[in-house]
Every structure is written in structure tokens, then in C-alpha cells.
Chain A
Amino acid sequence: MSGDIVLAAKFIGAGLSMIGALGAGIGIGLSVQGALEGMARNPDTYGNLLTNMILGIAFSEAIAIYCLVIAFLMLFVL
């Protein structure tokens, strides 16, 4: 019985840790929005904006990836 509770706690914890992806999603959406608006107003800056946008996405995506790693650790390692 105790083993079952531990297993359930693992799954619940993994699910809860993925809540952090919420912020990363909002952040990625905002940065893409900004970049697209810039591109639409000034199409010449397309290349420059694209690389910077991908960099910004990578930074905010890293937060979601931390959550994912914590979830993986709970599911497969602990």
C-alpha cells in the first residue's frame, strides 16, 4: 500500500512540475508577437529579428525544459 502512495505522489509531482511550462508558453508567445509585429512594420529587419527571436525563445524555453527535466527525474530516476 505504501508503495502505491509513493507511485501516485511521483505522478502527481511530475504533473505539478509541468505547470511551470505555462510561463514559458506565455513568454514565447509574447516574444514571437513582438518579433512578428516588428517584421510586419519593417520587413528589412527580417533576418536580424529572426535570429534574435530564436535566441529569446531559447531562453524562455529553457525554463520549460527545466520543468520537463524535473518531471523526468521524478518519473524515471527517483
Chain B
Amino acid sequence: MQEIPIRRLVLEKIRKWRWGKHRWILLALIILSVVGVNLIAPVQPHIQVAAENLSAEPLFTLPVLGDFYLTNTFLAMLLMDVVIILLALGVRNAAKKNELAPKGIGGVFEMLIEMLYNLTESTAGKFAGKIFPWFASILIIVLFANLLKLIPGFETIGLLHHTEHGYVAQALGGNWYTVTNQQAADGGYMVTPFFRGLSTDLNFTLAVALISVFMTQVIGVGAQGFRYFGKFVNVSTMFKKPFFGFMDFLVGLLETISEFSKILSFTFRLFGNMFAGMVLIALIGVMVPIFVPSMIMMFELFIGLIQAFVFGMLTMVFMAQATQGHGAEEEHSS
């Protein structure tokens, strides 16, 4: 009996028109984007798979690997490290207070870590303590690498450099210039951004994939000892049952190949998703510069979240598989 009036009250409250605050901010931003696009027309950026060099001369040279330049993804990585270290210090401060229910950063990270740990425990069982640090740190690193492009000026502010098919540069006052969308007749300018999304560099994704796959082997050996390698070179049943033993050997070869293809798929999944997102935002920003890029940006942030989760989750599942061994399956097949 008492619920009905309360419900009616809530409904009336919801229906009442409020002036609000955020909707006007949103409208102002949309109008600002219309004005901004008319003042400075968007320019189609030069799209390049490898990270752009910021320094003209190489920083140092290694004998086999070649020259090392200061690239913009490297700067983005430093930025990501700083952000993660600051967050870690914040969490440390929150943990020092020893509250029962931490607030702010501490509370958010407690929730995140608890959720991830429960997920690990339900998959990996007693090896959760060993697997969890790799899972969580890979997830957090990839997550922040993907979310960093929320910072304004990311991928847009940078050094001007001279190219053959460039655009006319226009002085903004001081030492600041902007590129207009007029093609320069002979040798215009292009922007090399200071920061570029970290996951759009193949080196970063390859490094994380190598760490993930290598540590999977280490955890497998730690859990099963040298029996772990019996998965790859399977000669245990070769002499007892010639035919099925040979089949097991072939399966072991396939396992070896799939271990290497894990590196490939880890690398290109993250890189492909993030690079495609970058290209999509750049192209949509030239074609429909008003309001649509922000929608695409929202979708890209969602993709970045999902990819970070998938990267960590797959690492965790592979590590959990490596700890389990093949004992049950051998009984099944013979």
C-alpha cells in the first residue's frame, strides 16, 4: 500500500523539467566544434604504420639492431608510466590509512583487483596467486595505454616537419603554427605529434605478447616441472602403442606451433584494433568533423577496454592451462 505513492512521487520528480548543467555544456561543445571547424579546417593526416621519429638524428646506434630514434610512442610510454606510478602512489596512500572501506582511487582499485582476483581464482584454482600479478599488470598496462588518448592534444599537437606533399602552415603567434588544409605547391609542412597511442606501435604489443607467452612457459614449468615439455615433444606413448603414439607426437608438434602463433595473434589483435581505431578517427574527423568523431571516439574507448580485458584474460587462461597438464587427457585418448 505504501509503495504506490512513493513510486508516483519518483515518477513526478523524473518528469519535471530541470535546467540541468551537462546538457548545456554538451550543446556548447557541439556549437564550439562547428565554429572551430569553420575557423581551422581539419587536415587529413599522413598515416604511417611505424611510429614517427621526433629527433632527426638517432639517439644511439646498436651494432646489430641499428639506429634508435626518439619516437612519439616512446614519449607516450613514458607518460603512461608516470600515470601508472602516480596511481600506484595514490593507492599506497589509501592503503596506508587502513580504512575498512577505502574511498577514491583506493576504492576503485580495490574493486578492480578484487574482481580480477575472483576471476583468476575461479579459473586457475590454487595457482591464482602466481598467475594473478601477470594478469592484472598486463591488463592495467594495456588499459592505460589505450585510455591515454583521452588526453586533449594527444596525436594532434606536435612538431612541424617539411615534406614534399605537405600543407601550408599558418602562424598563430609566438612559436605556434597550425597547418591549413591547402596543399602547398612545393614542399609544405606536416605535423609529427608528440604523443601517439601506445598500442598503435607494433613494438609495444610484441613486447607484451612475448612477456605473456614466455611467462606462460615459466609458470607451466614451475607447476609441473619438466613434465611440462612433454606436451610439446610427446614420446611417452610412442613405443607402447605405435599408431596412437605417433599421433600424440604430431599433436605435440601442433602444440609447439600454436605456442608461436599465440605471440602472433596477441601482437596483431591489439595492434590491429588500436591502429584501425586511429585511422578511423582520423578519416571520420576529416569527412564529418562535427559531433560524429566523438561518437567514434566513445566506441574506440570501449574497444580499448575490451581489448585490454581480452589480452589479460587470454594470458590468464593460457597460464591456467599450462598449470593443468595433460594427465587427464592421456587417459582419455588411450
Where the two chains meet, the residues of A that have a C-beta atom closer than 8 Å to any C-beta of B are: 51, 54-55, 58-59, 61-62, 65-66, 68-69, 72-73, 76-77
B49 CB contacts on chain A under 8 angstroms = 72-73, 76-77
B313 CB contacts on chain A under 8 angstroms = 51, 54-55, 58
- CB pair A54 B306 closer than 8 Å: yes
Other contacts beyond A58-B313, A68-B276: 6, CB < 8 A: A54-B309, A58-B269, A65-B268, A69-B268, A69-B272, A72-B276
Kindly state whether residue B53 has any CB partner on chain A within 8 Å.
no
- CB pair A58 B272 closer than 8 Å: no
Kindly state whether residue B44 has any CB partner on chain A within 8 Å.
no
**Interface residues of B, count at CB 8 A:** 19
Rounded to whole angstroms, the CA-CA distance of A72 and B49 in the bound complex is 8
Kindly state whether residue B175 has any CB partner on chain A within 8 Å.
no
- CB pair A76 B272 closer than 8 Å: no
B263 to chain A, nearest CB (A): 12
B48 CB contacts on chain A under 8 angstroms = 76
- CB pair A65 B269 closer than 8 Å: yes
B316 to chain A, nearest CB (A): 10
Interface of B is mostly: helix
Rounded to whole angstroms, the CA-CA distance of A65 and B307 in the bound complex is 12
B199 to chain A, nearest CB (A): 12
Given A55-B313, A58-B310, A76:B47 Cβ within 8 A:
yes
Rounded to whole angstroms, the CA-CA distance of A51 and B47 in the bound complex is 34
In-complex Cβ contact of B269 among A51, A54, A61, A76 (8 A): A61
- CB pair B268 A55 closer than 8 Å: no
- CB pair B314 A58 closer than 8 Å: yes
A32 to chain B, nearest CB (A): 14
Q: Mark B289-315, 1 if CB is under 8 A from A, else 0.
A: 000000000000000001001100110
Kindly state whether residue B249 has any CB partner on chain A within 8 Å.
no
B271 CB contacts on chain A under 8 angstroms = 69
B92 to chain A, nearest CB (A): 30
Q: Mark B169-212, 1 if CB is under 8 A from A, else 0.
A: 00000000000000000000000000000000000000000000
A72 CB contacts on chain B under 8 angstroms = 49, 272, 275-276, 279
Contacts of B251-276 to chain A: CB distance below 8 A: 265, 268-269, 271-273, 275-276
Chain A's closest residue to B267 (CB) is: A69
Rounded to whole angstroms, the CA-CA distance of A69 and B206 in the bound complex is 14
Rounded to whole angstroms, the CA-CA distance of A21 and B258 in the bound complex is 22
Given A54-B306, A58-B310, A66:B272 Cβ within 8 A:
yes
- CB pair A55 B310 closer than 8 Å: yes
Rounded to whole angstroms, the CA-CA distance of A76 and B283 in the bound complex is 14
Rounded to whole angstroms, the CA-CA distance of A58 and B142 in the bound complex is 16
Rounded to whole angstroms, the CA-CA distance of A58 and B269 in the bound complex is 8
Offer 8 A-B interface pairs, CB within 8 angstroms, sorted by A: A58-B310, A61-B269, A65-B269, A65-B273, A65-B276, A68-B276, A72-B275, A72-B276
A55 CB contacts on chain B under 8 angstroms = 310, 313-314, 317
- CB pair A51 B314 closer than 8 Å: no
- CB pair B268 A54 closer than 8 Å: no
Kindly state whether residue B119 has any CB partner on chain A within 8 Å.
yes
Chain B's closest residue to A58 (CB) is: B310
Rounded to whole angstroms, the CA-CA distance of A54 and B119 in the bound complex is 14
B275 CB contacts on chain A under 8 angstroms = 69, 72
Q: Mark B33-69, 1 if CB is under 8 A from A, else 0.
A: 0000000000000011100000000000000000000
B272 CB contacts on chain A under 8 angstroms = 65-66, 68-69, 72
